[in-house]
Structure 1
Amino acid sequence: MIHSGNGNGEILEDAPHGQTTSGIEIVGRGIKELVLVINKMEGLGLAKSDIPLPRIIVVGDQSAGKSSLIEAISEIKVPRSSGTCTRCPLSIMTTANDEPGASWECRVYLHRRYDLLTSNLPSLSGKPGPFYPWTEKDTPVDIPFTIIEDKDALQDIIHRAQLATLNPGHPHMRYVSGPVPAIGDDCHLQQEFSPNVVCLDISGPDLPNLSFYDLPGVINQTEDGTKPYLVKLVKNLVKDYINSENALVLLACSMESDVANSSATRIVRNLKAESRCIGVLTKPDRLPQGDPVDIWHAILNGQKFPLGHSYFVTKQPSQSEIDMGITHVRARELEGQFFETQEPWATKFAQFKSRYGTTQLQTILSQKLTTQILTNLPIIKDRLRIQFDQLDAELRDLPEPPTDNAVQIVLNLLQEFTSCVQKAMEGEHKYNKWRLAWKEHRQNFYQELCAQKPTLSLRGDLDQGLYRGADDANGVDGAPITIDSDMESEIRNPAPASVENTPKKRKMEAPATPKQKRPQLSNTGPVRRSNLTKIFKLDELRKVLDDISVSDLPGEMDSRALDHLILDCLQNWDKPMINFFQVIDYALKGQLRLLFDGVFKAWDTTELYQKAWEAVEKYTSVLLNEQRNVVATQFLRSEQEKPFTGDTVLWESNKTATLKVFQKARSEARVNVYFRELEEAIGKQLSLMERNRRMNTDLNLREIINTDPYHREVEVMAKIRGYYNIASLRFFDVVCLSMQLKLFKLLRTQLLGELMTGLGMCDGNSRDNCIRLLAEDSQRERRRIALKNKRQALIEGQACLDALGRKYQNAALSQSGVFAGSFLPIRGSTPVNRFSSTPSRIHSPGNGSLVMDDMDVS
């Protein structure tokens, strides 16, 4: 025989043998188990782990009849002291226990997810958290408060549990028994409201299978107006629960007030949660006599203030009836009589009678909660799997601090890092970012040197009057014609192709290390001229040659004059050299930092991380300083001391090629001066054809043009520029070659030894040093413990789903695919329950782990 259910977990009858149990019957029979599983996962804190756990939350304004509604649904009595009776969320789970001899029982525990910042509240400043002055704990804990079997004692116990929650600085046992102050007496409270939860697990005969949260009523001001943050705390708390994607919102609205003015209704609308709402109109007996009822008809009909799951109407006992001890059964009888006899419910509103009464509300809540749970089980299963993967990945980056093998762990990390550095310095595949960056930086360095290449202004005073009949020509001393590096054909052999002819590559620079400003090279493309370029004027050059020369023969050149002019062009090489080393310092340390973080990231909160990087940075700085201050600077001083080259062929070829370029440019400049003077004399402009004809036929003109009064200066300029080509390439080669043969080589071969020495691994205390280096800070330890606790909660939540899946593996739920597929293997421990044998024992062993006792969901 297969049993069927009534939707509340009660077995009504046996179906005939051979008939199939319907899905509704299976759902009815399984409500209890589903609610138990979801509530256990809720208690494990999985709702805060992006796990979409279905829940019912009850919200409403103060005096909206919310407390009476809670009492009616759960068949319990909540405190009704002065002020706001609900000062923290109440988690209420009711499950039917219809076993023979079963009795009513309630287990009360305190779920603490938040710590109070301080008992002496500072003035609000900065950006406090949403539940200020409460801050979220790394790991929530469940504190068993008490177990009671007397339903009449529950009101007092809830009052005591709230006091314990609002006074977290006091031992919770103080409030379990003995005299306690009234909850409205604020002088006895450390805080008036709390986001921590008082949990009630209630079981007994004929109870509905429900699970819901009762939240503090929304307030708009405090009694004395001195604590505005409390208003924000309560509103943020209500918003947080409503925002949960699977929260079914039970919105209580008093019929003695205007629904449009309800703060709770406004929050629901602002959060666009109307589709998840069930409206409950309370206090129908207080509907003002004679007031029009059309607005309430429109609300019940869904025409005004529509909600996704419509409105229900309940009528709860008056305060006098409560004081007289009215029973739940009698309250339901009177409620039914009210709707059957009173206007307008029995007549004008009769069409809505299926939504009258607490029993109807209990039934619909149970059905909708069950449907929501079943719908979300596959999603919950997938989210659990995702959370497992994310937690395991994060835990891999937070390994346990070692003790016995500390030396080996440090050595392995250093060897792995230095191996990466070696591959990067050698430009090995997948480690070639530095080689590409180095190639680009040295190319820019050479371009900076080329940008200072000396050049010549091609016209002088002696070029005036080339046309014999012309006076001083206007404009002859206009903008000088200069020779840039791309206008000449001087020989640069053996300039490397990577410098002159290699296409530009994308920058591969690493991010800057902390507090290090990124230096910039002034040129990223082809360089034509720097503001440091020496530009010689012909007449000034003539004067220098004449002044320095000691020869008495006219027009002769002294070698000392040539040396002076050559060396004058090299005086600013220190600027691109310094800039080059700054760029290399920034880029090289940035690349090393990327490699370092790739190896040491899992230990980034330890002294090892800090000390190892300090050693890397220090050693790299020492090597760079040696290259800059010793090799490059000394060679620069040598270049600036006296011109020299032993390569006669290279010298002659550069000098000859440069001279040809200058002579051709001078000839063109003198031609332009002549024809400008001629055109000014005759008063018209000559065509290019006419110019060419005169040049080809007038031998006297050609003689005038080719007789250059500055031939000595042009020859000197060719030597200056020819030598600059040789010296700049030599300086570039020496600087870069030294860095490759020394700096990069030492990083490849000596870095491991430097690190081991710097970290104290080569002395007699290497083991103690390594243990100290790997010791973690308290924040890292707390984070790992929190992750492990969260993972354990996922394991237990998964075990609940596995047990539920096994229970229905041959039932219609399994056939429909709800439990199809296997869950992740359970790794860690077996499921446990919230309660130990000692009701008041805190479920935290002191090491940060979350401990709960067995709860049988089968």
Structure 2
Amino acid sequence: MARRAIKREHKEISPSGSPASMSAPAPASVPSNTMGPPSRKRAREEFPDAQSIAASFIRSHAPSAETRPRGNEEDQEPMLLEMRARQGGSMIGSPQSSQNVDTSFTHQSFAHPTFTDIGVKLREFNNTIGNLQQLGVSHVAELPELVLVGDQSAGKSSLMSGLARVDLPRSAGVGTRCPLHIRLINSSNAHWSCTVALQLDYDFEPKGKIKKSDVTATNQFPPWVKKSHRDIKIFKTIFDPSEIEEVLRWAQVAILNPNNDHELYIPGDGAVAKGKDLADATRSAAAQFSPNIISLEIKGPELPGLSFYDLPGVFLSPDQEEDEYIVKVVRNLTRHYIKREHAIIMWALPMNADPENSISLGIIREAKAAQRTIGIMTKADKLAPENEAQWLAMFRDEKQSVGHGFFATSRPPGESLENVGKWEELFFTHEVGSWPAEFDEFKERCGVDLLGEYISVQLGDAFAQSLPSIKGKVYGRLKEIERQLADLPGIPTNVEHEVKKSLYQFLGRMKTAIKDSEFSSEWNLLNNQFRDIILKIKPTCIVKDPDAQTIDLSDGDTEVSAVTPSRRPRPSDSTMRPTPSKRPRQDNEAPATPVKQESFSTSGLFRASPAISTGAAEANGPFARFRNLGRLTVNIRDIRMQVRKKQRPGMPRDLVPDEVRETMCLDAVRKWQGPLETYIDKTAELLETVTNQALEESLGVLRRRLIFKECQTYLKQFIDQIVSDQRARLSEMYNSETYQIYIMNEDAFTRYKKQELDQLRRARAIFRLKAVALIEWGYEIKRLEDMSEDERNKEHRILTQQLPKIGIDPFETEIEVAAFVRGYYNTAATRFVEGVTMNVNSNLFRIMGSSDLDIFMDQQLGLFGQAGQSPFSYLKNLRTFAKKRALIASNVYIHLMEEDEKTANLRQQLRGEMDKLSQAMSSINSLENSPASGSSSETIFPAPVIDLDDNLDDSLDEDI
């Protein structure tokens, strides 16, 4: 099929460089439209000569051969301008018909170097626009931009796919909840790639359910609030066009969940993307809409140098009533982009709908943007015959007039991108479908390819016109930032030296702080308190005879509780020998009388440290609330019941099952959990106290600087982390003790058990003798170590003489079990306390004195830049890497020396903006100095190169 010739409009340039007014009037029947290419009923401009085209791209919108698919040039037909027949030796409507025109130019191919240079320059201009848009410098200078708007179901998705030359998602829910920015880059690399990123200009600040009335002129996109700067987060780079729909869908979910890490939603990598259905993730998003942007940077061969925004389609009513506010939000967003004075609006309207009902057209007219608008008639294959006149009138600029006129496109769904393009070309040439022949006069405006070429030229043209102004404003803002930075509070001259010196003092002091005698003394006191409470909560034993009185034996005292007879024994009764005819009264023979309390001393047991175990120190210590955990927890009557439950039939009564002993032992040690948690907490408090003191000593003079606050914060984080790890280790030790009884030091266990058995037997003997009045009722029970030798000898004689008279103790087996439990408790407690304190010393304190703190602080403060730098990239560009690393470190040092958070944030914001504007200036300078600008006296795109400051780059480097 013969290639269709391409028509182009041309503008004359006034001496100042702005387009001059067309000299040829339009026919009276057709309104004049100087901003768009004329229809066949409009006057045509005469093509300028080759020299004028070489002098300025603005004088010709002819495309380069670079804008078309390139193959073997020998096999291609030349692309010729379609010329109108001359009348009287000049072109129809030529404003310069009297001038000499080089007619040979009309026979030149678009592969001519002049046109090739124009195409190269066009791509460079549009690529530069894309760079500036991604950097987010529109707050400094408004950029020319293409904005695609339209009502819902206007065919924008199909149109985008055609312009981007990639199958973009067309189904509902994709691109309808946030704007898209699509940037197309013609790359010499044969490989196609697409980088999807999130451009975050707004913060998400929800304040309850949003109502329609919440959307106002000052709050256009609730609950989103404008940020002071743009954050860019790379989402994913793909190399297969078939993946683009899934990646775009997940990118939209990520942008609608701004409080979550965007990496959670990356297909194939993110935890949410791998574990949750996409539809469910979309429905459960935190936000229903976002003004933040998803950007697509698509690189590949034969792509047009083009970038444009696609906005969600405007609509009248949502699916659910609670989303009514979104109708206003979407309109506000559309209005926000349309009102930008340098925006070229691409208005999509389907030919199967009434254009009079277009909501988007109303917004365009309201913003007085009709002269900046390109009308794009989509779904041309669905045009109804009865509506042909209406759409012809629009083509002829008789209805719904827009400055750039109208284009028509047809992209049937369900076909591959390649097939759709071929089908569209056949459709508009009447080889398929039913495109009316009445529209043939506008065939140069039919098809996505021609539309893409046109808007690419328009964008480059607009950028060429505004480039001097953009550069001047960017430069002016850079200078303003320099002044603002200079006005901020002073930073030490050698900031790096000050930071490193301060950190060296701080980290050095940390390593010695835990070895100080004051800290060691405090921690030793805590260890003693922990040891004493563990020993103190050893289970006390109730040795009460079920039919008589109770003796409660503990380490420090023994409570002897008795249900006494109806009369108290006379003093002489204590010497009376019981006879069969006169026995002591039983509990049920008389009402109870008040319990008599007697103290009792023990021997051979661990005793609490006198400094902390008595008086106020013990009562008010950190473990005071645990003092009674072991009180009255062992009862000889309960022991007998457990033994009987566990004994097998026929087992001797004095044979105790091992399960009884183990259960009682483990129940006793399980009470360590509370004291252990308290010990860990108090150790952490002690560690924080001593480290904060060291921080004050080393960085106290910088207390108003951020280095002090950040070191304090990160030190707390470090201590929390290592204490958490230590807590886990001690928890394992506790779990080991409560898993099963375990004895390796049998000598110690045997010794402890014997001591406990002696104590319990002594208490039990005194109880029994008092019960039968063989010992005075008022006999005072003392600790053996508190008794004189005469007192001990006297008690020993009484017990030796009197016990044989009352026979064998019926609870001897239970007393032996109680002694076993208490003996095991002492053995395990000694082991546990020793292990816990040693573990803290050898792990927690060792880490504090190691280089772990240094490494952690380096990472948190960011002194060495970002981790994970590839050694290959480092070797590949050592100088660049070194500069970037030095820049990062320099910024961190300055940040740490800020006086307050507000100043630090302002400085960081200004420096971030300076970095972006510096990149923008570099991009502009690269454009101006590119080879396509030419070194001859006549250049293409003659936007003046402004030499604002020869030392601009140097001054920026100095500021950084």
Per the normalisation by structure 1, the TM-score is 0.49
The TM-score, its normalising length taken from structure 2, stands at 0.44
